[in-house]
A and B are shown apart, each in its own frame.
Chain A
Amino acid sequence: MSATSGYFVVGTSWLHHRHPLTKLLGLGFVLLATFLLPSITLVLLVIALAGIAASAGLAARLARAMRIPAVLLASILVVNAFFYPGATDRLLELGPLAVSREGLTFGTISAGRVLVAFIASVLFLFTTLADDLLEALVARGASHRIAFVILSAVQLVPRMQLRAASILDAQQARGLAIEGSFGRRIRALVPLIGPVLLGSLIDVRERTFALEARGFGARPGRTAYRQVVDPPSDRWLRPVLVLGCIAVIVAAVTGLGRG
């Protein structure tokens, strides 16, 4: 992962070529549908997203990224299957524990929703440069200052990851043991978190000076060097997605959205 481009995967697929706002609306549509429409929709969404990933040449990347939510998804399923409150229909008895039909159903739906939300978000991050999103938002009236602050915060994550690794090395070299009892591990956090925060503050001071020196936010009428391409197809795709979002909300409000 690059500190500049985050999770972006260089590519020329049809999904890469969509305007950032089109993809943002698409992501919004999928998230609304996931959480508001009947649960059967989840199956369709998973199939559709898998198809989108494959057609954009991102299937292998997506499969690798699935390691991130794997534990969360499994735990949602297992905890609900065994401990769903008020469940009566026992499918399988394992000593004092039992898998219930209600728990298994609820766990599967909940895990499915998280799965869809994760896949959609990852596909957005894989194919959208944060800088393009920033310019697209600013071009539509968003505050450049606020958009830049949000972008910087997102880009801070990989920088802090690199920094944390260096700090771990430096403190271990001074005899800090990071293995052992729970209490010992908790105590080991102070020498690790301290330099991450203090070092970041020093960085922020220097970076603030550097931005000041380059006139950031000093005057209105900022121009933009980076040009974000907005293909003709996106100009009709975005209204369609907006209508889709409205339709999902209407369906949910009128009672069609109980899953």
Chain B
Amino acid sequence: MTETTTRGIAPIAALRLAGLSVRYPGQRSPSLDSVDLEVQAGELVGVSGRTGAGKSTLALAAGGFLPRVVRATVTGSAAVGGIDATSLDPRALLGHVGIVFATPANQLSASKQTVREELAFGLENLGVDRADMDGRISTVLVRLGIANLADREPLTLSGGEQQRVAIASIVVMGTSLLVLDEPTAQLDPVGAADVGALLAELARGGTAVLVVEHDPTILGQTSRMVLLESAKAVGSGEPGYVLGSRVAGLYGLPAPTLVRLAELAEMDPALAFDEAAIVANLSSHGPRLAPGAEPSLSIGAWEAARDRPVPVAQVQELAHRYPNGVEALRGVSLRFAPGEAAVILGQNGSGKTTLAKHLNGLLRPDRGDVQFDGVSTRNLRVDELSATVGFVFQNPDDQLFERTVEREVSFGPRNLGWNAATVRQLVERALDAVGLSAVGGTNPYDLDLSRRKLVSLASVLAMNPSILVLDEPTTGQDPVGTERVGAVVRGMRDAGRTVIAITHNMEFAAAHFDRVILMREGIVIADGPPSELLSAPNQALLASTGLTPPPAARIASALGLTLVPRTAAGLIEALTARR
């Protein structure tokens, strides 16, 4: 291992990877292959790429975890502030680099009564004098805008708040380099925006920040980013350039809406995340390029054996109060017709998941009723309802237990008592729909989170549900996985099934659903097509439940379009038609 620094010529980089390759034991191909990367103090640098491209390995290497904590063969060099990051000495990088991962609750010590004590945990390990701790903690709490959380119990905070506390817990240790691995994957838009603002603020204050992300709102704030594909760094530069058709597009990754709009307006990629610039450009020049055919994944209409008529789902005056007194639903009435793709939006605590859990009998109404073709769910068990209503949970690890993907996906249909031939046919169809036919013999836990989520989706599709309920199906997904889930939604809808999804992903909601239901404090506050609900006059309504319109809708509103387009291409078509 050689350590290369340029003392006396240029400042020592906060992070320098030179020709870094990583291979895990038992793996044939490397997880990182000759990657070069430098991050200077005060820089916010992004890393993106599809699932399995090597992003997390890069984060672990930058954080000094390879090979000390995670066994791997490392060649090339990795240095943090000039110190060898592949050292086996746990003290070598202590206080120089910190790393934050995706699951907020797992970032905390879980033993501390207050946020203040949580921040003290790292200082205790550094051996900081007790008298100096309060001052350091207070400074960081104020600087990161979370002083109001100081005396709260960490595990009772929202995901976004917990993630900001996790970042503060690293920053308070005085680290010069902060590495984050998908820090917003499990956060709602408000939480993600807060974390994004925090990272930008840290960089302005002189910290070097390296963030692995899929979320365009975070990547758009980076000064430059690197795209990884099959363990190699295949492009770097401004995020508007790297995420566009000239780099990410070459590898089949769909461009974020704003980047696509900037390209269609032939704008400088540096302005791709500047909404005001895009609006100004489109309003003065209009689109210069035709959008062409949108690259869109399709699974075709869902067809499967044992098809049954799809019932009408009727929710009548539904109310539910939890044992702790929280009134989660306060009289909700909705009707879902066969062939409808509806998305339920609203901030955390608005009652979305409580409503969804009534559809498959996991929760029983305190008042009101849920009926399928007039039959109440009150007297049906969850396993009986599962033949009609398929429910895909947010966390796939709550259900995966079989030794192969195929066996996992066949668990549901086998429970329904179907014969082996039918089960086999449904499993094949479901794996094909989610694009996992090639990994049927793999252990689900050998797949990454994104593909484990697709396994849990397939395991419900294989039950051939008449009504499909999805709880946050895009969290932890890369853009390709999100497109895949969208294709499943459309395929089920086109086959006359009912799809009901809960999501925070506004672009996903706008692109794939025909009906938007807005919830706030246990009631439905609006219900209609996305083209109407996500329009400018409703911005205040959306904001009242913690939402912002998707980017295409924001730009359309600013350009004075009355109907809200679903995608960048829809927006360009509307603009062209207007001219």
User: Residues on A close to B: CB < 8 A?
Assistant: 2-5, 129-131, 134, 148, 151-152, 155, 159, 163, 166-167, 169-179, 190-191, 194-195, 198-199, 202-203, 206-227
Q: Which of B124, B415, B416 contacts A224 (CB 8 A)?
A: B124
Q: Which of A130, A166, A222, A227 contacts B124 (CB 8 A)?
A: A222
Tell which of A170, A177, A213 has the most Cβ of chain B within 10 Å.
A213
Chain B contacts for A130, CB-based, 8 A? 111
Interface pairs (15), CB distance under 8 Å: A4-B113, A131-B112, A167-B398, A176-B415, A177-B381, A191-B411, A209-B69, A212-B90, A213-B63, A216-B121, A217-B125, A218-B90, A218-B91, A221-B127, A223-B130
Main secondary structure of the interface of A (DSSP, over half): helix
- A172–B386 touching, CB < 8 Å: yes
| Nearest CB in chain B: distance from A139 CB, A | 12
Q: Which residue of A lies closest to B153 (CB)?
A: A4
Give the interface segment out of B95-103, B332-340, B524-532. Answer: B95-103
Task: Give me 18 other A-B pairs in contact (C-beta within 8 A), A131-B113, A174-B459, A199-B397 excluded.
Answer: A2-B153, A3-B155, A4-B153, A169-B362, A170-B393, A174-B463, A175-B383, A191-B399, A198-B400, A212-B90, A214-B173, A215-B125, A215-B126, A216-B121, A219-B125, A222-B124, A223-B128, A223-B129
Chain A contacts for B399, CB-based, 8 A? 167, 170-171, 174, 191, 195
Interface size class of B (residues with CB under 8 A): 35 or more
Chain A contacts for B112, CB-based, 8 A? 4, 131
Q: Which of B108, B123, B382, B460 contacts A210 (CB 8 A)?
A: B108
Q: Which of B127, B130, B383 contacts A176 (CB 8 A)?
A: B383
Q: Which chain B residues numbered 29 to 88 have a C-beta less than 8 Å away from chain A? A: 63, 65, 69
Chain A contacts for B540, CB-based, 8 A? none
**How far is it, in angstroms, between the C-alpha of A148 and the C-alpha of B125 when the chains are bound?**
12
- A215–B393 touching, CB < 8 Å: no
**How far is it, in angstroms, between the C-alpha of A107 and the C-alpha of B177 when the chains are bound?**
65
Q: Residues 386-400 of chain B: 1 if any A CB is under 8 Å from the residue's CB, otherwise 0?
A: 110011010101111
Chain B contacts for A207, CB-based, 8 A? 106, 110
Chain A contacts for B130, CB-based, 8 A? 223-225, 227
Known contacts: A152-B110, A195-B401. The answer to whether A177 contacts B415 by CB under 8 A is yes
- B393–A166 touching, CB < 8 Å: yes
Known contacts: A3-B110, A151-B111, A210-B106. The answer to whether A215 contacts B411 by CB under 8 A is no
- B387–A214 touching, CB < 8 Å: no
| Nearest CB in chain A: distance from B527 CB, A | 25
| Nearest CB in chain A: distance from B419 CB, A | 15
| Nearest CB in chain B: distance from A14 CB, A | 21
- B124–A174 touching, CB < 8 Å: no
Known contacts: A151-B111, A214-B121. The answer to whether A170 contacts B386 by CB under 8 A is no
Q: Which residue of B lies closest to A154 (CB)?
A: B111
**How far is it, in angstroms, between the C-alpha of A194 and the C-alpha of B91 when the chains are bound?**
37
Q: Which of B63, B106, B113, B387 contacts A175 (CB 8 A)?
A: B387
| Nearest CB in chain B: distance from A206 CB, A | 4
B360 located at the interface, meaning its Cβ lies under 8 Å from any Cβ of chain A in the complex: yes
Chain A contacts for B95, CB-based, 8 A? 215
